[in-house]
Amino acid sequence: MTITGARALAEQDAARLDVVFAGYLNLFARPDAHVYLGSATGIDTLALEWLAVHSPAAISVVVPRTVADQPDLAAETIRTRRERGRLTHVVELGADHLGAPARLVVPL
């Protein structure tokens, strides 16, 4: 499963995503599932928050550099969910330079 979307969302879009996530993510985010998420502000952060609250699935977050280098909202969401024991792993890739070459592609 891939979750992609905008980095900036209007508040009404974010509210509608709760319904979308409940309808689609819920089908896959079962107790035996492991979900890997990016760490951008926007859809990544909203999906992380929804999964942490509504799903028993294991959750891993991958950041291109460090959590501290993420936008404030994304970093705070990751820290909060980590402190609450809701993240299985946080992977900090430590990229020197962000841009197209820093994107993570994971073969399945």
Longest Cα pair distance anywhere in the chain, in angstroms?
A: 38
Q: Is 16 helix (H, G, I), strand (E, B) or coil?
A: helix
What pTM does this model have? 0.80
What is the CA angle 1-85-34, rounded to 5? 20
Q: Is 26 exposed, middle or buried (0-12, 13-18, 19+ CB in 10 A)?
A: middle
Q: What is the CA radius of gyration of the chain?
A: 13
Q: How many helices (H) and strands (E) does the chain have?
A: 3, 3
Read off the pLDDT of residues 5-44 as tens digits, 9 standing for 90 and up: 666 676 667 678 888 889 988 889 899 999 999 888 888 8
